[in-house]
């Protein structure tokens, strides 16, 4: 476990910050395109931390996508309503135009998830962080093959994509012997979010 103030993200690919416990998952989000319209009620990001329900306001979600010869990177951020609230970061090193499955972590640097495909922030309190994988001590965090599953990626006209998926993993607190607040957590969830295309790409 490390404090978020000193945490440096060394991996990038699908990124999901999420929090806003109790927020309305059906908040309005505009949609447009040649295909059938997707209403705000169709969009959601819901998950649980150790069984506690969390919801993200879809209005607060923003995303970006980059693909080049060496990396395919998708970022999706759902910001906390208040600073210091629980947040979730997911990473998927795959082409986001189609379904994919991402493990919870890997020692393979080509996977871009050496730090884990999931990072939990501000749990159990502000400035605490836990990861779904520890490449330094892999025996402490065995890989879950289907930690993040993208079930569909639907293009919506020339302006957006609707990304749907699920996740199920465990994050591991480091140095539990010295700080009892550095604990493990079970995270489960599902999402359907809108990614606005940049210049019609992806």
- Does the pLDDT value for residue 58 go beyond 70? yes
The pLDDT of residue 49 is 94
Residue 39 has a pLDDT of 58
> Is this structure's pTM higher than 0.85?
no
pLDDT score for 81: 67
Looking at residue 23, its pLDDT comes to 41
What average pLDDT does the segment 99-119 reach?
88
The predicted-structure confidence for 61-95, as pLDDT tens digits, reads as follows 777 777 887 778 776 676 666 788 888 888 888 88
Better-scored residue on pLDDT, 162 or 26 = 162
Ranges 12-16, 29-33, 143-147, 181-185: which has the least confidence: 29-33
Q: Which two tokens stand for residue 153?
A: 């990626």
Domain boundaries, the chain: 2-196
What pLDDT sits at residue 24? Answer: 42
Residue 162: its pLDDT value, please?
Answer: 95
Cβ contacts of 4-11, under 8 Å, gap ≥ 24: 4/121, 4/122, 4/126, 4/127, 4/128, 4/129, 5/127, 7/119, 7/129, 9/89, 9/115, 9/119, 10/114, 10/115, 11/91, 11/112, 11/113, 11/114, 11/115, 11/116
pLDDT in tens, 162-191: 999 999 999 998 777 788 898 999 999 999
pLDDT tens per residue across span 133-160: 988 888 888 899 999 999 999 999 888 9
């Amino acid at each position: 476990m490390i404090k978020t103030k000193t945490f440096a993200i060394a991996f990038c690919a699908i990124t999901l910050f999420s929090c806003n416990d109790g927020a309305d998952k059906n908040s309005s989000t505009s949609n447009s395109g040649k295909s059938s319209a997707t209403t705000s009620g169709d969009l959601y990001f819901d998950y649980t931390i150790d069984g506690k329900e969390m919801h993200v306001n879809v209005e607060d979600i923003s995303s970006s996508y980059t693909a080049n010869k060496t990396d395919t990177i998708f970022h999706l951020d759902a910001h906390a309503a208040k600073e210091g609230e629980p947040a979730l970061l997911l990473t998927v090193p795959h082409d986001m135009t189609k379904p994919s499955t991402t493990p919870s972590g890997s020692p393979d640097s080509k996977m871009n998830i050496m730090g884990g495909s999931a990072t939990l922030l501000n749990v159990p309190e502000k400035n605490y962080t836990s990861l779904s994988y520890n490449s330094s001590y892999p025996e402490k965090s065995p890989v879950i093959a289907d930690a993040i599953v993208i079930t569909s990626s639907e293009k919506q006209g020339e302006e957006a994509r609707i990304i749907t998926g699920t996740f199920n993993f465990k994050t591991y607190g480091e140095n539990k012997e010295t700080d009892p607040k550095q604990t493990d957590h079970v995270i489960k969830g599902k999402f359907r979010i809108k990614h606005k295309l940049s210049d019609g790409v992806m």
